Amino acid sequence: MLTDRYGLALSTQSAAARDAYVVASDLLLSANPGPVAAFDRAIAADPGFALAYAGKARALQLLGDIQGARGAVQAGNALSAGLPPREASHLAFHDKLIAGQADAATEAAKAHLAEWPRDALVLSPCSSVFGLIGFSGRAGREREQVGLLDSVAPAYGDDWWFNAQHAFGLMETGQRDAARPKIERAVAQNPGNANAAHIRAHMYYEDGEQTAAHAYLADWLTGYSPEGLLHGHITWHLALCALQEGDTAEAFRLYAQSFAPGVYQAGPLFVVADAVSFLWRAELAGAARDTDQWRLLHDYAHKMFPHPAIAYADTHIALADAVTGDTDALHARLREMQDLARAGKLPSGPVAPALARGFEAFLRADYTAAIDAFELVFDEHERIGGSRAQRDLVEFTLLKAYLNAGRLDDARRRLAARRAGPRDVPVAGLKVLH
């Protein structure tokens, strides 16, 4: 019987289909270009290979091609009769995942992994800060995610993909000493794994090693195709290094080259979050506002996310609305979020609406109102999703609000309470506190 790289039996009898499926899976797990084409090769070798359709659906979903993803998973469902239990469960999970049934997909994944913990293509959508648990909106979701990874770790042993993902979960829960050797091992095992390179960038960030991060990322990106799923986001990390070093021109060059709307080779959520956060962090660091870029970004965000969908997106879109002065759009989104909350359909609770109000108040120079809004939910802001590094956007804005309001003691207390590691904060005016 043919098996995948993790030793799990596959129902296909075609060695060519199996080989293409293994290649496709590794491309998907390493965020390298080409998984869709490789899954298509597996399908061409065995049109009845249902799991290849599920893998293709996931790859298309990550690229933002939701219609294509739905078509692929439907094609897999049409082949589900008579599948072995593991493959039937695998396909059923992907059906829920692609349909956007996040909670049901999470529960299906947990049940599946209890039986087949080495099914990496089921674990993968649960293992990222941009995954099912990461965007669940639940309080404590960081620990929930690392708990799931801890539970299956014995099954993976010394695996290059799992080492990187486990390191990220550990890091995001403050366990940097445990995370560091795992990410270094993952990078050594598969230097071309874009997920590992990305997670190593987070490790550098959390350790406050921006110079090392800059050198590593600038070199690593030379060997990574711009078509890679994480090319824009890893370049975002590099641009943050440039901002940290005061090289605003280089930071904006990287933005225009790799992760501005229209050039970013990833799904719209990546585009909106990275572009908005970069432009705002640049302003907080002292850069002049580029109104044209903000307007382009605002228009793109509303095209891609016309209604509340994901708290992480909604938070960044609210900031774009506030910067561009589109209070009508911001208030309309807030009203929709309030309606969802009343219907029990706003998983992140009050966090995204409070942050939206905080950004609006900040941009109209009502810093006291901004501070009140941010402080109300600051201890819960993990619920919007994203990594600690990405959510520093909230803390940096709060610090700037303290400075602008003349509340220097509050700014000092916030800095003193900041997590150990990334101590240098690129917010203009903080030197007055020293």
pTM of the complete model: 0.96
- CATH fold of 127-207: 1.25.40
Q: Using only C-alpha atoms, what is the Rg of the chain?
A: 22
Q: Which CATH class is domain 224-433?
A: mainly alpha
Residue 421 has pLDDT above 80, yes or no: no
Q: pLDDT tens digits for 224-277? A: 999 999 999 999 999 999 999 999 999 999 999 999 999 988 889 999 999 999
Spatial separation of the C-alpha atoms in residues 426 and 396, rounded to whole Å:
8
Is it true that 1-112 and 127-207 share their CATH fold?
yes
pLDDT number for residue 97: 97
Q: pLDDT tens digits for 162-196? A: 999 999 999 999 999 999 999 999 999 999 999 99
What is the signed CA dihedral for 9, 13, 14, 20, rounded to 10 degrees? -20
Q: Which CATH class is domain 1-112?
A: mainly alpha
Delimit the domains of the chain by residue range.
Answer: 1-112, 127-207, 224-433
pLDDT number for residue 149: 98
Among the listed residues 316, 307, 311, the one whose alpha carbon sits nearest the alpha carbon of residue 335? 307
Spatial separation of the C-alpha atoms in residues 132 and 126, rounded to whole Å:
5
Q: pLDDT tens digits for 93-139? A: 999 999 999 999 999 999 999 999 999 999 999 998 889 999 999 99
Q: pLDDT tens digits for 23-35? A: 999 999 999 999 9
